[in-house]
Amino acid sequence: MCGRYALDVNADELLAQFDAYNIKVSEPSARFTPSYNVGPTHKAPVYHSNSLCMMIWGLIPYWTKDLSKAQPYKTFNARLESLLTSKMWKLPCEYRRCVVPISGYYEWKRLPSGKKVPYLVRRIDGNVMLLAGMYDEVKKEDGSNVLSYTIVTGPAPDGLNWLHERMPVVLKPNTKEWELWMNDEKHTWNADELYKVLETTFDSKEVYSYRVSTDVGKITNNEKYLVEPLKEGIASFFKGQKREKEKIIDVPQSTVALKREEETIIKKENEITPSVQGSTPMKRDVVSLLMSSPKRKNQGHDNMR
């Protein structure tokens, strides 16, 4: 899946990278600022037909009559396996293919405990990744158009399937696969040809992943620290010390005094009456009271696609 990604460059920086890739952009109409947490229903730049424009993430099919009933949060990914058979995807695959530039995509790894932790997958050289996508256009009554897009996903290859079983399809500029996908005059595909063009790959010399803050799970968060590696170690140590300190402060003073008094009584009794080996000490009522005192509840915290 790919339900969240980052594009941490501005419009001029993206155009510069496109130029370095020899990607022609005749209409750079998209103006935008860096975004560290792009999610479904957000607007982001998309490249098609030599133009770069803003679209809504989550494909809204052309036949949609009432935009208020559109559900783009359900169509942000298109499975490679269903592109030629799905009513939703067949026409966009044949006539409206595009590329989605990203700095990296987020994926959540499920731990044995059941907890999910986010990772960011990105290029080692810091350049943008270019994902295979499709778009559609809805004409409104006032004559304006609503453009929206989806990202194609396929089975994750060795090297990334430990993170998730699927991943977005990444295209490399100036390759045969790129040329076929971006060829606006190509309208027919067979399954074998499509699978070869959209085959998912992984090269550890080009791509890497690392854990990031769980704050990325909240779609309204959009700060630069979201794309930075999660800082652990000494920060976690001091956080643990703080929690221990809070636990001590939370103990009622009356309970502490009572416990000290009980320990003093036991100490004096041991000085008078020696213990007998193998005997079992009696549990005192005060100790039972202490042990049954209520504990404070710990407070705790969260995906898509």
Mean pLDDT split into 10-residue runs, the chain, 305 residues: 92 94 83 95 96 96 88 91 96 98 97 95 96 96 91 94 95 96 96 95 90 96 96 47 39 44 49 43 40 43 42
pLDDT of residue 263: 53
Question: Does the residue 30 lie in any domain?
Answer: yes
Same domain, 125 and 29: yes
CA distance 264 to 275: 16
Residue 172: inside a domain, yes or no?
Answer: yes
Q: Catalytic annotation on 107?
A: yes
Q: Identify the active-site residue in 107, 177, 262, 269.
A: 107
- 64 and 148 assigned to the same domain: yes
Check whether residue 36 and residue 160 sit in a common domain: yes
* Annotation says 98 is catalytic: no
**Residue 93 in 3-state DSSP?**
helix
178 and 32 within one domain: yes
- Neighbour order of strands in the sheet with 104-110: 35-38, 5-7, 104-110, 116-123, 207-211
Residues 188 and 286 in one domain: no
Q: Are residues 221 and 266 in the same domain?
A: no
Coil, helix or strand at residue 298: coil
The structure's pTM equals 0.75
Q: Are residues 206 and 275 in the same domain?
A: no
Domain assignment present for 118: yes
275 with 227, same domain: the answer is: no
Q: Where are the beta strands (DSSP E) in the chain?
A: 5-7, 27-28, 35-38, 43-48, 51-57, 77-79, 97-102, 104-110, 116-123, 129-139, 145-155, 166-168, 170-171, 207-211
Whether residue 228 sits in one domain with residue 271: no
In a domain, 300, yes or no: no
Enumerate residues 6+ apart whose C-beta is below 8 A from 62: 91, 136, 137, 138, 139
Domain that holds residue 114: 5-234
Structure tokens at 149: 């897009």
Query: What CA–CA distance (Å, rounded) separates 269 from 251?
Result: 27
pLDDT at 71: 82
pLDDT of the residue at 181:
98
| pLDDT of the residue at 63 | 92
Residue 226 resides in a domain:
yes
Please check whether residue 299 lies inside any domain of the structure.
no
